[in-house]
Amino acid sequence: MTACMRWSPGRIQTWRRPEDGGFDAARYGVTEIPEDAAKSYVTGRHYSGTYPAARLRYGLYDLATEPALCGVAVLSVPMTSRVLTAVFPHLQPYRESLELGRFVLDDAVPANGESWFLGQAFRLAAAAGIRGLVSFSDPLPRRRADGTLVMPGHVGTIYQASNAAYTGRSTGRTLTLLPDGSVFSARAAQKIRAQDRGHEYAERQLVTVGAAPRRAGQLPAEWLAVALADVGRPVRHRGNHRYAFRLGTSRRDRAAVTVAIPAGAYPKDLDGYQGDLFRGAA
């Protein structure tokens, strides 16, 4: 049985089955929202606790009494333009194509709210000149070192329900999981090695979960290797599932958008736990 992930403050996940229904579109509205509101909402609920490099931000509001923000969709700029051009080769990246970087709904929104919210956000994005969106779902569950489930993994049920084209997986890689179940990114590691802007935050991230602080005179790369050996857990990730959305103000506009990767069958099963993900589990 498929279900859609929902969120509560504190990054607590719950699930809604599409067949449960109950969503009343007349009660809700969607509009573009400021950066601060979107960032506060997303970081307080999404399991990653992070916020992408946003270009457009749309909020779902419950209008039953006073308007209350109950969902956010963030259209963002990926780390490289290749993420976009590999799927939409004829669209100008960052201007005509973006990534659906975050899509978060409150637990209180009834089932089927996701597809309506997506449709409204896509309509607004199309009016702003966006013709293609790439989105990813992460099928690999995450656990803390003590075995507590942090993120159960998802295959993109809402994207499938919204008729997105499934275009396979992103490149597989080895992740470094920290004791709290979060991922220590390769980008953060490189900031430490090169002492680039933001390296202080990346170093604090490791110290907070148990790494010894860097000693005076200790080479950053040397300290990083020791810190990751002490607090990191390597796990092999086969790659996120990738979906493509054609946008436009008419069916003809949408049909005119070229998706370079042939659409495949929708995935249904989560990836199994891999590597030493369960090391230290109760």
First and final C-alpha spacing in the chain: 28
Query: What pLDDT is stored for residue 276 in this prediction?
Result: 34
Tell me, what's the pLDDT at 96? 98
Q: According to the model, what pLDDT value does residue 13 have?
A: 52
On whether both 247 and 133 belong to a single domain, the answer is yes
Per-residue tokens: 154? 């998802």
Q: Are residues 155 and 213 in the same domain?
A: no
On whether residue 114 sits in a domain, the answer given is yes
User: Same domain for 120 and 220?
Assistant: no
User: Model pTM greater than 0.85?
Assistant: no
CA dist 2 and 18 (Å) reads: 8
Same domain assignment for residues 242 and 220: no
150 with 196, same domain: the answer is: no
Residue 270: CA atoms inside 13 Å, Cβ hemisphere, count?
Answer: 15
Parent domain of 213? 185-231
* Assigned domain for 62 exists: yes
Residue 95 phi/psi, 5-degree rounding, is -105, -40
Looking at the structure, tell me whether residues 30 and 72 fall in a common domain: yes
Are 46 and 160 found together in one domain? yes
pLDDT averages per 10-residue partition of the chain, 282 residues:
52 51 88 97 85 96 92 96 98 98 91 91 97 95 86 88 95 92 91 95 95 95 97 93 96 96 92 40 25
User: Which pLDDT does position 269 carry in this prediction?
Assistant: 83
Q: What is the pLDDT of residue 1?
A: 37
Amino acid at 75: L
| Cβ 106 vs Cβ 11: under 8 Å | no
User: How many domains in the chain?
Assistant: 2
Asked if residue 243 and residue 224 are part of one domain, the reply reads no
Looking at the structure, tell me whether residues 198 and 143 fall in a common domain.
Answer: no
Instruction: Mark whether 50 and 157 lie in a shared domain.
Output: yes
Same domain, 194 and 166: no
- Backbone phi, then psi, for 9, in 5-degree steps? -55, 140
- 62 contacts: CB under 8 Å, gap ≥ 6: 27, 28, 68, 70, 108, 109
- Same-domain status, 106 and 166: yes
| CATH code of 133's domain | 3.40.630.30
